A and B are shown apart, each in its own frame.
Chain A
């Protein structure tokens, strides 16, 4: 199963987003929150790398990110986790994680299909 890693500057936000996605996307998804750094608010490449390795069962991992250094640290973490096939989704973190979680529970899910479903969330509107 494709794993998911949620990278936010806030550990609480990452955990909360993982909770929401698990609840609404089906409890079978493999979602690992990897938010915050040693000082609190921030992102940590080591923490993200551990999250990627934990989320991977051999099928690969999709990484959902919030802002700025979350992207750079996630890229670096993917380079460091050399044995894992991991991709960052260019998607809003909460909606993207939710979409991705639903897709990972499909028997036909692939790394590309999960990224694609996460990316679909960019087009969601909240008001009509």
Chain B
């Protein structure tokens, strides 16, 4: 990708887009979380990314990886619950993969480091009805698209977002095995996981930002669309 200033601008714009999207989806995420959690996921995510986006000026002199790291620490201090360490801690940890700038290669390393940290910290696997159900297909699809199929990063990211969307749908019939929703036992069945959903929203905004910077809109899978909101 382009020079360091452009990369930083892209990160800052992505942050703005994610913060705006989570503010917009606050009520929806809270509705999802009120069914199987403690109804604070929307407010937590909105507060955390909102605080990070407020720091745009302070971030304006940093290298892209430092911006990403500071977004992580801001989320740790402002998100709360399990989402703080899972989102913030993992972003902070994975940011070291971007030390040499943001390229197709380092973005794959970032995605894998982020996924590893989330799985390690939370102990969830695919099928536990958590954000991991969206993340695993997204990260694996992204890596394969770049490393094996040699696709351009933007196409790879679009495929990853589609994979995440199918992952979110996949959480609906599952019984929760982790977190507060696991206390509900079979009553968690039939509800979409809020963490997988917010993960998808973040990925969609990363894609939207990448489209602005990498020249061109990408057609999403015909399958995709509004499936993530099916249970509204």
Q: Mark B113-145, 1 if CB is under 8 A from A, else 0.
A: 000000001100000000000000000000000
For the side of the interface on A, what is the size category? 10 to 19
Bound form: Cα–Cα A76–B72 in Å? 12
Decide if B180 is an interface residue (CB 8 Å cutoff): yes
Bound form: Cα–Cα A79–B90 in Å? 12
A68 and B179 contact, Cβ closer than 8 Å, known pairs A73-B84, A73-B85, A75-B121: yes
A72 and B77 contact, Cβ closer than 8 Å, known pairs A45-B84, A45-B85: no
Q: Could you say which of A26-34, A36-44, A85-93 contacts chain B?
A: A36-44
CB distance from A66 to the nearest CB of B (A): 13
B82 is contacted by which of A38, A44, A46, A72 (Cβ under 8 Å)? A72
Q: Are B89 and A76 in contact (CB under 8 A)?
A: yes
Bound form: Cα–Cα A29–B80 in Å? 30
Q: Mark A61-88, 1 if CB is under 8 A from B, else 0.
A: 0000000110011011001100000000
Provide the residues of chain A in CB contact with B122, threshold 8 Å: 72
The closest CB in chain A to the CB of B77 belongs to A46
CB distance from B92 to the nearest CB of A (A): 9
A37 and B80 contact, Cβ closer than 8 Å, known pairs A68-B180, A76-B89: yes
Provide the residues of chain A in CB contact with B18, threshold 8 Å: none
Decide if B163 is an interface residue (CB 8 Å cutoff): no
CB distance from A63 to the nearest CB of B (A): 14
Provide the residues of chain A in CB contact with B121, threshold 8 Å: 72, 75-76
CB distance from B216 to the nearest CB of A (A): 39
Decide if B53 is an interface residue (CB 8 Å cutoff): no
Interface residues of B in 180-230 (CB under 8 A from A): 180
Q: Are A69 and B76 in contact (CB under 8 A)?
A: no
A39 is contacted by which of B76, B80, B82, B180 (Cβ under 8 Å)? B80
Bound form: Cα–Cα A73–B89 in Å? 9
Bound form: Cα–Cα A73–B82 in Å? 7
A residues at B contact (CB < 8 Å)? 37-39, 42-46, 68-69, 72-73, 75-76, 79-80
B residues at A contact (CB < 8 Å)? 76-77, 80-82, 84-86, 89, 121-122, 179-180
Q: Which 4 A-B pairs have the closest CB atoms?
A: A69-B82, A72-B85, A76-B85, A76-B89
